[in-house]
Amino acid sequence: MSGKTADGNDLPKIQLESKEDVEFLQHQFRDFLQKTVTSNTTLRDTSLSPEQREEASALVLSKLEEWTKSIWAMAGTSMTINGFGYDEAMKEKSRISPLDESLRTEVQALREEADELLLSVTQKRRTVPDQIERLVRDGVGRESLVAEKTTAIKGLCAETDQQLPYVDEAVNAEFGHSVGL
């Protein structure tokens, strides 16, 4: 089977995320074949003995399994699994060693940490703009007061006793002291 259309152009390959997708489809197809053979009226209603019926079902299932493997082999040339060819991706399972417990707990801890960081970033995205806006307003207000004090010191206008907008008294006192110099 070639991956070309009738006019000779290449067909795009089916892109799959993981081999688990293929294995799921294969499992679903095997289950369907099993149910079909089990409910087949020709095998069920013939005058075969139960042993003969079981042997015939097993033979039909083995032939269907061979047929299924050949179908997946043909379809595999038109698939990529996470960027790898079908054969390479499906063989990968045998190359991967099972995940050990310490590595699993480390991965779980890293996932939890990533989730916490994501929540923290989300929270900061909600609160930081308001804080920045408040600080900018405070800075602009303080600059206005400094400008008024400077104008009053030069004698250009009367001095004002405006309350400083910032809520922290220690900062207000320090600011007031520095402006008063």
- What is the spatial distance between Cα 126 and Cα 69, in angstroms, rounded to a whole number? 54
- What is the spatial distance between Cα 27 and Cα 94, in angstroms, rounded to a whole number? 18
Average pLDDT over residues 136-141: 85
Residue 157 CB contacts under 8 Å (≥ 6 apart), including other chains? 148, 151
pLDDT in tens, 7-31: 555 677 888 777 788 888 888 988 8
Average pLDDT over residues 45-53: 79
Give, rounded to a whole angstrom, the gap between the first and last alpha carbons of the chain.
90
Q: What angle do CA 164, 170, 172 make, to 5 degrees?
A: 15
- What is the spatial distance between Cα 19 and Cα 27, in angstroms, rounded to a whole number? 12
Amino acid at 179: V
Least confident of 20-34, 62-76, 124-138, 139-153: 139-153
Q: At 85, phi and psi to the nearest 5?
A: -65, 160
Q: Is 60 exceeded by the pLDDT of residue 180? A: no
Give residue 94's pLDDT: 47
pLDDT in tens, 64-88: 899 988 888 888 888 888 777 888 8
Q: Which two tokens stand for residue 59?
A: 């033979």
How many other CB atoms are there within 10 angstroms of residue 5's CB atom?
Answer: 9
Band the pLDDT of 122: cuts 50, 70, 90.
very high
Residue 29 CB contacts under 8 Å (≥ 6 apart), including other chains? 68
- Looking at every residue in the chain, the average pLDDT score rounds to 76
Task: Indicate yes or no: pTM above 0.85.
Answer: no
Q: Tokens 């007031």 belong to which residue?
A: 176
Give residue 110's pLDDT: 93
Band the pLDDT of 177: cuts 50, 70, 90.
low
Give residue 113's pLDDT: 95
Give residue 120's pLDDT: 93
The secondary structure of residue 8, as a DSSP letter, is: S
Band the pLDDT of 172: cuts 50, 70, 90.
low
